[in-house]
Structure 1
């Protein structure tokens, strides 16, 4: 499969690019970015061609991989899907429900494949653990806490990200939390949210059938207090999964590429990305009440 990479930031350089260049099932044809010099640099790093026009790159490939802020990803994804290109997208799918729905509608109309890279769902150990908890059932409650230190630690490559500054932990690490809570506890029927220090958001969710869950989401935790914790409690006792990603992000992204190449739809497609966006938007609205 011939793939074009849209995006030239740290995530593209550290994760998307290396995985695409190394994967035996795809050819990384070209790279486009908002800054031509960055596109040239990333393309040279991975043996691809820099493109000065996104649509020209879309026309030259079978699929696009997008590593851009959500408000830029969504319209480019619509253009690519409309052109009949398969989509390997990042989370969150979009910055608004309207934009996320436009992507899902374009994918459905064009009948193309889509995968949204919810990182933990492509981490082998984590996905197998989630499958065991979903099969066990009878969970009373759960929690998924993401204490990120992007803006409080020194030297984070993502600290200069304007969209993360604007949208905060709710939109950056909230998708991680929802991606592990929903497959185990079911869809969300009720959303409550309150603010903590910095960009911290506390979520309280009700799920189909009655279970509840909570999530603490932030990018401004003190570095010494940063970390991830996922836990479910119920009839079977307590199931805990700490520290988040067990393997590397590049390895997880390689499995996302595998999912795009597979003939069967993946649970983390644009429809799931849309649902996560809807829940995030509901939480944002609850913060304003």
Structure 2
């Protein structure tokens, strides 16, 4: 079974497989591919074996990649797909299943309609009544569940290569969501974890956690995830509209402020990679510029001055 899975995965990753599917896509109606996608999604949910789920997800990824993101992907059905992705992203699933699920979600959110629905909590902006209102409520509930699932994925990336890669993919996905506008950015601010932390706070925790590992083990993977986190944080911290709320979140609680200051102080001096140190230095400058604008503390000192090294 394992060898069959490897052979199938190799085939699905090949360019020839996607090109072949695109060719068939020219002659077969979208309804055929939609039905196949739905069937694979049902199989992925029905069977708990990791190999079956990853193969089903690989086929779905291949199908979605060959569809038009504007005209066709919304036809897969937002609420039904999100409901099943929630099941595939839950903690009890293996890291490979979660990784494929995040990749599939990313592709689906390349559809502007689906991205808007996720960012708006399932509301399309029109007045809804009856069954439409119920559908909107269902969408809002499953969106919240998927966001919680993604927050759990951010805690997987400490000790193994696949876990770190999953964490990196989630950060890239969150960066994409945030880039869509105000509603997308606000997704990063709402509490999503069991302890009430936002995605921004959890990304800072990822940075602080990965920074602690100074051995060469998984060094490349750790550098990649920290790079994505710093790129996102720098983009938000330098944005005309998002800079202040971003840095307020990162310094609001004592725990997150400690992580933020620690990263700002230590990461610019890292020997992991030159571009990582450069990104960290930019982040440090923005953090301290923000902190120095804050009022003095009760003992007459400034938080930024007391933490600079």
The structure whose RCO (Cα within 8 Å, separation 6+) is larger is 1
- If the TM-score is normalised by the length of the shorter chain, which range does it land in? under 0.3
Greater radius of gyration (CA)? 2
Higher strand share: 1
What TM-score results when the alignment is normalised by the length of structure 2? 0.25
Higher helix share: 2
What TM-score results when the alignment is normalised by the length of structure 1? 0.26
